[in-house]
Amino acid sequence: MSTYQLFATTPKAMETILTDELRTFGINNIKATMAGVAFQGDLETAYRACLWSRTANRILLVLSSFEVKTQEDLYNGVQQINWFEHINPEDTFAVSFSAKNSQAINNTHFGALKVKDAIVDQMRDTFQIRPSIDTERPNIRINVYLQGEQAQLSLDLSGESLHRRGYRDVNIRAPMKENLAAAMLLRCGWPEIAKHKGTLIDPMCGSGTLLLEAGMIAADYAPGLLRDYFGFIGWKKHDAECWNKLRMEALQRRKTGMERLPIIVGFDQNKQTVKTALAHIANAGLQNKIHVERRDIEDAEPAESWKTGLLICNPPYGERLGDEQETAELYKKFGESLKAHFIGWKAAMIISNPELGFRLGIRSQKPITLFNGALECKLLRLNIEESNFFIPKARNQEERITKVLAINTAQQPEKEFKSRVELMSEDEPLEVSADKNDERVGAVDFANRLKKNFKKLSKWAKQNAITCYRIYDADLPEYAAAIDIYAGEQTWINVQEYEPPKTIDQHKADQRLAGLLSEIPQVLGVDNAQVFLKIRKKQRSTDQYEKHDDQGRFHIIEEGGCKLLVNFEDYLDTGLFLDHRPIRKLIQQQANNKRFLNLFAYTGSATVHAAIGGAKSTTTVDMSNTYIEWAKKNMALNKNAGEHEFIQADCLDWLKTEANEEDRRQYDLIFLDPPTFSNSKRMDDVFDIQNDHVQLIKNATALLADNGVLYFSTNFRRFKMELSALSDLSIEDISASTIPEDFLRNPRIHYCWKISK
């Protein structure tokens, strides 16, 4: 057999795991690079990697490498290959093209077309017939990677990503890919634990990915056995005899391995998710081998007869606005459950915020960096032993707010501040200086800064007819809060404290907050009752849509000619995101005679702006009935023409359904501002903006009329737009122009793009 240059791709930070895996296949001459591993071998080696690799994405067989300084160099380099050796003229093929640091070609769609043209022209000139394109299941899939001036042309032997094992319902979104789940298990020593009959438990099993990957590893079950399509099946040089021999060997190994499976159990609190996991388990032929039941995390504990082993899970990351404190409480409860029921076990979980791991109260080994899509995460590995237990500094926020206000009342007896223990924003923790021992001096410094900001920004606001704006945003790190002015029939001050880091003495933090509260009314000239304080608080998963109090006091403010309702007491937020003021103004300016769609609409303020701007029709979609009713009230305050539709629905499902309709809706202007993360009980699946934004944008643009514009915004600070996956769209980053003057201290408050077809 011939020896080939091969390359296995893998998610970033998994190269070492893939290298170790390839060595177990007897492969040598391995060289790890960024997001992949190069190696050599014959076809049997390549087939074995396709069939058995649990961590690779694709296996590429390198056909040639050549220099590309111009577009024609790419065309000529592809034509140097005799393509009749690989496909017949009547066959099908597909091309994937990527480029990095190339001066010649930086548009991936154009590069793919150039490669396609070179192949088609060669075959047509020789046979007067050309192969056709099939992006789903072509006879061969061609991969071209252009780095600088060097191109590598390969056959994609996998055909589609190897993480697609074949057991998952393709209509179900997963919070993690199968090869990431396998990498977690391999790094946690699961193969050795399974060999000794140790138990595996996933207490938050979701659709069952970790359970299935654990079962397949323990059963010596090749991850490619369920797949009926690989990229080499239609290749003219495919060795069917060799492939069949490897499959028969894998089938026999699976049969033997299934007889020695240890106990594998999954729990999840969601009934529909449990059904999905059971369906996936059945698809893999592991029914009666993996047990799943509906059970809350607090009730997750092993049976007495189960041997100690590995507890592993992919818990919520807490990235969603309004969910951080809830998630922190979940981790605290999870840690208590581990300490109570899993002594002697190993545990592992993947998280994006290392602070959440601290909430467990159990010391971990050195975290391992992995990537869930583009999101950088840490794999925590724990030995559940009493010697590793510690007590994290817990904060009861309701007690804390009472304490802060008591301190403030003692300082200013005549003052009574209204307060609600609620969420602030997604801003990162701020380092606080401990140099100032005299808090009274610090409060004076704060007052001076607030006065200076107010003088400058009030003048700017008046010149621009702005009535609601941010006046202070942790300008002095010791006084870490955001302060917003809302002016209507009177003036209200909305204060949001940024939670101090755990390195700061709690009493000192409380004194500073009390000092801040005492200075605000004096500097801004407002009555004490018009100052509202918000601090983080534990919430249930649906609390972002529900009332936190029942005062029912709404106030009318004006913005850009629109009347809008705000509430400072009852709800998580006031009803108006001040940082989106410029994008709302832009929508109003562009809405005349347009059909406008507002997705994840919140209280519909953007819809009101579109209506005031002369929109022919508006459609407002949000999952929360609370916010839809609020949006209707906002619209009712404003006299305008046009047709206005309000829809209470899961935006993801609604958008997917509408995008797939033959006679689909069409809009000239769309505003799309989704949450960062959501696992609400009202949604069937977990939503993650980084992992899911490509499909979300594609579905939204499917409703975009010719010459229409989509404005897409997110407040996820680590967000990276997958431009290569959206290469058929025109995408312009307009973030800088949508950050208003009063938020310039915090330019990452949101990102925004203008998108058109």
Q: Please report whether residue 162 resides in a domain.
A: no
Assess whether 562 and 580 both reside in one domain: yes
| 3 state SS of 386 | helix
Whether the pLDDT of residue 395 is over 90: the answer is: no
Residue 546 has pLDDT above 50, yes or no: no
Domain-terminating residue out of 323, 356, 388: 388
Task: Give 459's contacts (C-beta < 8 A, 6+ positions apart).
Answer: none
Amino acid at 346: K
pLDDT > 50? residue 538: no
Assign residue 455 the CATH number of its domain: 3.30.750.80
Q: Considering only 26-30, 183-187, 510-514, 736-740, which range has the smallest mean pLDDT?
A: 510-514
CA distance 285 to 549: 50
Looking at the fold, whether 584 and 668 belong to one and the same domain comes out as yes
Residue 375 pLDDT: 83
Residues 137 and 210 placed together within one structural domain of the fold: no
423 pLDDT band, cuts 50/70/90, is very low
Q: How many CB atoms lie within 10 A of CB 480?
A: 26
Whether 641 maps to a domain, the answer reads yes
- Residues 209, 178 contacting (CB under 8 angstroms): yes
Give me the mean pLDDT over the 100-104 stretch. 91
Do 380 and 510 fall into the same domain?
A: no
- Pick the most confident of 229-233, 348-352, 376-380, 636-640: 229-233
Tell whether 238 is covered by a domain: no
Domain contains 161: no
- pLDDT, tens only, 596-622: 999 999 999 999 999 999 999 999 999
577 and 602 fall within a common domain: yes
pLDDT of residue 543: 39
Q: Which tokens in the block code for residue 681?
A: 């009980």
Q: Which two tokens stand for residue 205?
A: 């099993």
- Residue 410: pLDDT band with limits 50, 70, 90: low
Q: pTM for the full model?
A: 0.59
The DSSP annotation for 491-556 comes to EEEEEEEPPPPTTS-HHHHHHHHHHHHHHHHHHHT--GGGEEEE------TTGGGS-S------EE
Which pLDDT does position 540 carry in this prediction?
Answer: 35
Give dist(CA 673, CA 658) in Å, integer.
18
Percent of the chain with pLDDT over 90: 71
Mean pLDDT, all residues of the chain: 88
> Comparing 45-49, 130-134, 380-384, 476-480, which segment has the lowest mean pLDDT?
476-480
Task: Return the CA Rg of the chain.
Answer: 29
Model confidence band, residue 400 (pLDDT cutoffs 50, 70, 90)? low
pLDDT attached to residue 318: 56
In a domain, 84, yes or no: yes
Query: Looking at the structure, do residues 694 and 730 belong to the same domain, yes or no?
Result: yes
pLDDT(408) > 80? no
Note down the domain range covering 499: 397-534
CATH, residue 668: 3.40.50.150
Are 180 and 210 contacting, i.e. CB atoms less than 8 angstroms apart? Answer: no
Mean pLDDT of 120-128: 96
At which residue do the structure tokens 């995101």 appear? 577
Same domain as 78, residue 23: yes
In a domain, residue 164? The reply is no
Q: What is the pLDDT of residue 418?
A: 38
Question: How many domains is the chain partitioned into structurally?
Answer: 4
Determine, yes or no, domain membership for 243.
no
Whether residues 70 and 19 fall in one domain: yes
Q: Give the CATH number, domain containing residue 106.
A: 3.30.2130.30
Joined together, the tokens standing for residue 440 give 């009274």
Q: Which pLDDT score, from 0 to 100, does residue 511 have?
A: 80
pLDDT in tens, 158-181: 999 999 999 998 777 777 999 999
Residues 488 and 565 placed together within one structural domain of the fold: no
User: Are 500 and 585 in the same domain?
Assistant: no
Question: Do 626 and 752 belong to one domain?
Answer: yes
End-to-end alpha carbon distance in the chain = 48
Domain boundary among 534, 560, 577: 534
Domain co-membership, 648 together with 569: yes
- Measured in whole angstroms, the distance separating CA 709 from the mean position of its chain's CA atoms is 24
Domain boundary among 332, 355, 388: 388
